[in-house]
């Protein structure tokens, strides 16, 4: 297999050419949103310039829009691992889609039913379910973490799941500390009592292969702007559930999938960009496996190559973080366990607040985040509110030189 030519991919991202005070910008802010390749930008513009229309008409631009939407649903199906494009729902973002799904599921719950959530999750996978449970007079059970490495406490999860459990909501990977959770095991535990499972794959999507069939979950959501596309959300659900759950929609809207969930006029240009982002990843995979003509196989090859590159960067950065006085990493710090995490690293400093570290790094052209990143349940559990953490997030377009530059800047914080 060819080596990972990071410069080949960096050249496709115009945003990476930005400079700050004469220095090249180091985009280590990936968990908050990725940069976008030129082909995605061009796809958005091309749609608006030549095919902008509403769907369902008989004239050229509307027919072309329908064809685009069909292709996008098929591509997204390949991304998540379903053979049924009708199970794909596009929307404004993961949060909005999850709120809509939570309202629908909540209408099927009764007083005394239970919902199981985790303290490792983004609040978009907590608050919607809490609200839906409140409206149904259902009980919410929160599952904690193992504080020493910020992994999900599976024993506590097993104890929380019971005969009244109707839904278990979990994240594929923590957007704050990078932990990858054993979602197939979570699904197995939930299905053993007849509960449904919703997975948040927003943070995981740019780092690893999504496989709803292998994981056997019931719903999954992610966002294209995390995997090199525009601000568009994506929801997958089992057809039988999407066809029968109660939804709020206007009367003339079709009952067929995905129309009963894709309320109103969709962001067609954004969906065009999301389609192109998936095609970008598939082409990256074909660079590493020329036999991968089928898109799903090409995506698997892409994430195999991306994973190897990101794990090498992760090992390098973990080694630096462990050697810098005053830094305390939250999450998995063992370099032999990099396969159990994404290359997203969160830490505190003994004498500097997270926001101050973010500010000092920004002045040197190094882009990172500080705060709680909407993973409020986690930062509360770790006792880190209100200041939170510094978060460094690597993507496949990041380089070893950028890691070294970050490490040097951290050593010079004082």
Sorted by where each starts, the structural domains of the chain and their CATH numbers stand as 6-37+295-411 (3.90.1150.10), 42-278 (3.40.640.10)
- Beta carbons of 373 and 344 less than 8 angstroms apart: no
| pLDDT value at residue 249 | 85
- Beta carbons of 131 and 270 less than 8 angstroms apart: no
Residue 143 CB coordination number (10 Å): 23
| pLDDT value at residue 254 | 85
- Beta carbons of 206 and 227 less than 8 angstroms apart: yes
**Three-state secondary structure string covering 316-334:** HHHHHHHHCCCEEEECCCC
**281 to 7, 9, 47, 117: CA distances (angstroms):** 15, 10, 20, 31
Segment 54-88, tens digit of pLDDT: 999 999 999 999 999 999 999 999 999 999 999 99
Q: Give the chain's mean pLDDT.
A: 97
Which residues are CB-contacts of 73 (< 8 A; sequence separation ≥ 6)?
85, 86, 88, 90, 258
Using 70 as the pLDDT threshold, list the residues of the chain that sit under it: 1
Alpha helices, DSSP H, located in 56-119: 60-80, 94-106
Q: Environment class of residue 138 by beta-carbon count within 10 Å: exposed (0-12), middle (13-18) or buried (19+)?
A: buried
Query: Residues 94-133, buried b or exposed e (16+ Cβ, 10 A)?
Result: bbebbbbbbbbbbebbeeebbbbbbbbbbbbbbbbbbebb
Segment 313-341, tens digit of pLDDT: 999 999 999 999 999 999 999 999 999 99
Strand duo 165-171 + 327-330: pairing: unpaired
| pLDDT value at residue 1 | 60
Q: pTM value?
A: 0.97
């Amino acid at each position: 297999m060819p080596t990972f030519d990071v410069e080949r991919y960096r050249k496709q991202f115009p945003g990476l050419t930005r400079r700050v005070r004469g220095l090249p910008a180091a985009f280590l802010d990936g968990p908050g949103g990725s940069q976008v390749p030129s082909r995605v930008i061009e796809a958005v513009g091309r749609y608006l310039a030549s095919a902008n229309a509403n769907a369902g008409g008989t004239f050229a631009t509307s027919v072309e829009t329908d064809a685009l939407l069909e292709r996008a649903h098929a591509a997204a199906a390949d991304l998540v691992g379903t053979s049924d494009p009708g199970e794909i729902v596009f929307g404004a973002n993961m949060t909005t889609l999850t709120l809509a799904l939570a309202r629908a599921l909540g209408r099927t719950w009764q007083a005394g039913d239970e919902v199981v959530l985790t303290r490792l999750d983004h609040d978009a996978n907590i608050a919607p379910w809490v609200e839906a449970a409140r409206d149904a007079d259902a009980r919410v059970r929160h599952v904690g973490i193992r504080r020493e490495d910020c992994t999900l406490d599976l024993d506590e999860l097993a104890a929380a799941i019971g005969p009244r459990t109707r839904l278990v909501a979990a994240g594929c990977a923590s957007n704050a500390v990078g932990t990858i959770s054993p979602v197939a095991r979570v699904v197995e535990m939930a299905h053993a009592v007849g509960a449904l499972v919703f997975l948040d794959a927003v943070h995981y999507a740019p780092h690893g292969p999504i496989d709803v069939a292998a994981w056997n979950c019931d719903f999954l959501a992610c966002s294209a702007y995390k995997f090199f596309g525009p601000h568009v959300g994506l929801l997958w659900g089992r057809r039988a559930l999407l066809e029968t759950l109660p939804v709020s929609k206007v009367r003339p809207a079709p009952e067929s999938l995905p129309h009963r969930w894709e309320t109103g006029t969709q962001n067609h240009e954004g969906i065009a960009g999301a389609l192109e982002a998936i095609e970008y990843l598939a082409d990256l995979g074909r660079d590493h496996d020329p036999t991968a003509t089928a898109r799903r196989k090409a995506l698997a090859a892409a994430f195999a190559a991306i994973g190897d590159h990101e794990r090498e960067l992760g090992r390098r950065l973990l080694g630096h973080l462990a050697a810098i006085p005053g830094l305390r990493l939250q999450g998995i710090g063992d370099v032999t366990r990099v396969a159990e995490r994404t290359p997203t690293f969160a830490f505190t400093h003994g004498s500097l607040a997270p926001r101050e570290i973010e500010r000092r790094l920004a002045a040197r052209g190094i882009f990172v985040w500080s705060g709680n990143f909407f993973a409020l349940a986690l930062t509360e559990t770790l006792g880190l509110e209100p200041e939170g953490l510094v978060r460094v997030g690597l993507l496949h377009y990041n380089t070893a030189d950028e890691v070294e530059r970050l490490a040097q800047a951290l050593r010079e914080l004082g």
